[in-house]
Amino acid sequence: MIVQKYGGVAMQNYTSRQRVIAHIQKAINDHQKVLVVVSAMGRRGSHYATDTLLELMPNANNRVEADLLSACGELISSSVLSSELNNEGIPATILYGKKAGIFTNDDYGNAEILQVDTFHLLEGFKDHSCIVVPGFQGISEYTSNFTTLGRGGSDLTAVVYGHHLNAELVEFYKDVPGVMTSDPFINQGAQLIPSMTYNELHKVIIEPVEIIQKRAAIFAALHKVPLHIRSLYKESDGTKIIE
């Protein structure tokens, strides 16, 4: 069983999601079961991207409402992908809200995960090779409100599931070949790093555009979750994060 995470760029349109579906099919062939964590579609300006949704509430002073609004992006994305997988003949199911099992405190916008309940995921895998879950969100243990896990938080969702489900691997499909010596969109001479330690990964996570969310990298290092960061588009081997 593996976990795959697809970010906003991978989920942005039908064509990119066709690549997502091809990677999921391959994962089912190779690993039998795959948990797919998705982010909201696209970047600022795309209809359902997190930043676009948040523009609907420019003066948000109620963090309950802001988190509910942001969580909608991943709910849209996961429902669309699950439907497209089924249309392609890949029987997938979607789990969200309490059934996704990520329970948090009430620190809206940057909630802390208090408990992970994998019951419904394990039940789902009895009948399905593929389960799709919206990333970036949890449910408050105290109020049952939607909460979010900090910007870039779908990475954390994926790593947390990887740990609690004892996944063989957590894969991240990005718009870069893997982790490079620096951001290739800034430095064209950047080189792919084929493998690195958790410590080395930590050093290349530089704001504002983090290759992987810092909280996710810290959690992965703490629990030794095996990570593979790779390209959605190119048949590159990407970067393996090893101890």
Ligand X SMILES: N[C@@H](CC(=O)OP(=O)(O)O)C(=O)O
Ligand Y SMILES: Nc1ncnc2c1ncn2[C@@H]1O[C@H](COP(=O)(O)OP(=O)(O)O)[C@@H](O)[C@H]1O
Interface residues toward ligand X, by CB under 6 A: 7-8, 39-40, 50, 73, 135-136, 151-155
Q: Which does 78 bind (CB under 5 to 8 A by kind): ligand Y, ligand X, none?
A: none
Residue 158 in contact with residue 121, Cβ under 8 Å?
A: no
Residue 68 in contact with residue 4, Cβ under 8 Å?
A: no
Nearest approach in angstroms of CB 211 to ligand Y is 4
9 or 27: CB nearest ligand Y: 9
Nearest approach in angstroms of CB 153 to ligand X is 5
196-152-224 Cα angle (round to 5): 35
105 or 182: CB nearest ligand Y: 182
Residue 74 in contact with residue 135, Cβ under 8 Å?
A: yes
9 or 121: CB nearest ligand Y: 9
93 or 182: CB nearest ligand Y: 182
Prior bond of 91 cis (ω within 30°): no
Q: Which does 229 bind (CB under 5 to 8 A by kind): ligand Y, ligand X, none?
A: none
Residue 36 in contact with residue 81, Cβ under 8 Å?
A: yes
Nearest approach in angstroms of CB 173 to ligand X is 10
Q: What is the dihedral of CA 108, 110, 115, 118, to 10 degrees?
A: 100
64 or 242: CB nearest ligand Y: 242
Best CA proximity match to 81, nearest among 99, 94, 67: 94
Q: Which does 24 bind (CB under 5 to 8 A by kind): ligand Y, ligand X, none?
A: none
Q: Which does 183 bind (CB under 5 to 8 A by kind): ligand X, ligand Y, none?
A: ligand Y
Residue 37 in contact with residue 70, Cβ under 8 Å?
A: no
Task: Tell me the sheet residues that pair with 38.
Answer: 6, 134
Q: Which does 153 bind (CB under 5 to 8 A by kind): ligand Y, ligand X, none?
A: ligand X
Nearest approach in angstroms of CB 39 to ligand X is 3
DSSP string for 95-129 = --GGGG-EEE-S-TTSPPEEEE--HHHHHHHHH-S
Interface positions with ligand Y (CB under 6 A):
7-10, 39, 152, 174-176, 179-180, 182-185, 204, 209, 211
Distance CA 149, CA 143 (A): 16
Residue in the shown chain whose Cβ atom is closest to ligand Y: 7
22 or 209: CB nearest ligand X: 209
Nearest approach in angstroms of CB 123 to ligand X is 26
